[in-house]
Structure 1
């Protein structure tokens, strides 16, 4: 068995998060959703979330479907795995305006609001953002190698936009 065949793989569904001390290849597909990828530069532990909406309104369950919950839970999971906050770096992906009109009102669109929230939370946690690929009109498939922090990005049309 070659090394590629032995890679741990995990597909991240919307509203979930993943972090593990072992090296994994974590993938997800994003439209207006956002993924925050965290990586500890010392322990080489990585994790990713996939949130759909920016803020939990306090009703129902506080799940990682919401950005404010997803970022906090990912940070806590990373710390529980032995990471240290001052060694964490972040990368942000997604937040496309797949149904946008391009009229200049994008600030009110969910993709933009998700990206703004991710930036604000990472700033509040003092976690530097080292890379991002956000916004636009195309969806993304991302793949993170949690042991190295490397993230590959592929852009594609979202089904709702295809003609």
Structure 2
């Protein structure tokens, strides 16, 4: 199971596993080391919600990234729930492949914070 924050690195100093491309490679390689066969891998994808208005839609970029990554790698996506504005809580049972999603209510779409107006300590009269 992966949870990544950004699809790819753009010279941002964040832990490598936070990026989709790194997280997916690490997960697939570890599964293969444990005996999984690449040709039998299947996945389900969740997330990609838009959580902050006014900024780039990272959730949508993550959704596009993961679906494209799976297509290029030949990994079947057997289920998905992507987009929207609600956070999700995911439960996953690896032995059966069962996953359950709980929507966590309508997210508050936060507007970007604007810097305060400059304040002068000079009083004119």
| Normalised-by-shorter TM-score class | 0.7 to 0.9
Pairwise mapping of residues 5-84 of structure 1 onto structure 2 (< 5 A)? 48-57=1-10, 60=13, 63-84=16-37
Deviates more, 1:114-123 or 1:62-71: 62-71
Indicate how the Cα distance of structure 1 residues 60 and 137 shifts in structure 2: closer, same or farther if over 3 A, else same. closer
Shift of 1:98: 2.1
State which structure, 1 or 2, has the greater radius of gyration over its C-alpha atoms.
2
**2:123 matched to which residue of 1?**
none
**2:92 matched to which residue of 1?**
144
Indicate how the Cα distance of structure 1 residues 135 and 126 shifts in structure 2: closer, same or farther if over 3 A, else same. same
More strand per residue: 1
- Measure, in 2, the Cα distance between the counterparts of 1:83 and 1:157: 36
| 2:47 equivalent to 1:94 | yes
| 2:38 equivalent to 1:85 | yes
TM-score (norm 2): 0.78
**Residues 71-111 of structure 1 deviation map (CA, whole Å, 9 limit, x = unaligned):** 1111001101100010000110001012247xxxx9x4100
Higher relative contact order (CA 8 A, sep 6+): 1
| 2:31 equivalent to 1:116 | no
Question: CA RMSD, aligned part only?
Answer: 2.3
Residue segments in structure 1 that go unaligned for 5+ positions in a row = 1-47
Residue segments in structure 2 that go unaligned for 5+ positions in a row = 111-125
Pairwise mapping of residues 127-138 of structure 1 onto structure 2 (< 5 A)? 127-138=75-86
Indicate how the Cα distance of structure 1 residues 136 and 50 shifts in structure 2: closer, same or farther if over 3 A, else same. same
Indicate how the Cα distance of structure 1 residues 159 and 59 shifts in structure 2: closer, same or farther if over 3 A, else same. closer
**1:43 matched to which residue of 2?**
none
